[in-house]
Amino acid sequence: MDIDSGPKVMGDDGEFHAVDEAVDLSQTPPEAWVALLFFWALAGVVFTQFVTRYVFNDSASWTEEIARYLLIGTVFVGASIGVAKNNHIQVDLLYRYLPRGLSKWLSRAVDLLRVAFFFAMTWLTMLMMQKMGNYQMTIVDLPMNIVYAACLFGFAAMALRSVWVMKVHWQRGYSVLERPESTMTDR
């Protein structure tokens, strides 16, 4: 194998030259920015917790609770990214051995059940928020419905993204379950 047949990274001047590709964030969904905001807020709170505990030897009690709630928000909102990319855990082995027509209808049923599940979770979260009323957080004097609002936003985003995923699957005539090598950007 010729070593010079690959990409050239050493210039004629003997220095290493590499050029990064341009970063395009225009396709980043809005819920990804919200999840990133939650994540960085979580990082700030955990850093504050570290500093108050190990530098000042006087742990701020509110940081544990707020970090927990920010992690919940990060997970629920971030899960909608997984729905949009359609890369949650799934078992596609069954689809390899089913007849093509049956696997197509089964994958459509999975799409419909996913949509129904996320809309049901959105509805149940709204009902729970109504029942919680004025319930307060344990240490910080804020309503618990702030936390459940992040969950509600995450479930609503997952419901809408699952409708979009179902539409893409039905328009192109197959889903990722039927063709695991495909992605949501394949047409």
Angle at the Cα of 8 (from 1 to 13), degrees rounded to 5?
125
**In-domain check, residue 7:** no
Predicted confidence (pLDDT) per residue in 52-66, tens digit: 999 999 888 899 999
Confidence (pLDDT) at 13: 80
Confidence (pLDDT) at 150: 95
**In-domain check, residue 107:** yes
**In-domain check, residue 76:** yes
**In-domain check, residue 82:** yes
Structure tokens at 58: 């006087």
Angle at the Cα of 164 (from 80 to 37), degrees rounded to 5?
25
**In-domain check, residue 14:** no
pTM of the model: 0.80
Structure tokens at 21: 């590709």
Residue stretches of the chain with pLDDT short of 70: 1-9, 180, 182-187
**In-domain check, residue 88:** yes
Taking CA atoms, 117 is separated from 31, 81, 111, 128, 175, in Å, by 19, 17, 10, 16, 18
Q: What are phi and psi of 106, to 5 degrees?
A: -65, -40
Confidence (pLDDT) at 6: 59
Inter-helix orientation angle 62-85/30-50, to 10°: 150
**In-domain check, residue 85:** yes
Judge whether 14 and 60 are in contact, CB under 8 Å.
no
**In-domain check, residue 12:** no
Helix locations, the chain, DSSP H: 30-50, 62-85, 93-97, 100-132, 145-172
Q: Whole domain around residue 130: which residue ranges?
A: 28-172
Tally of domains in the chain? 1
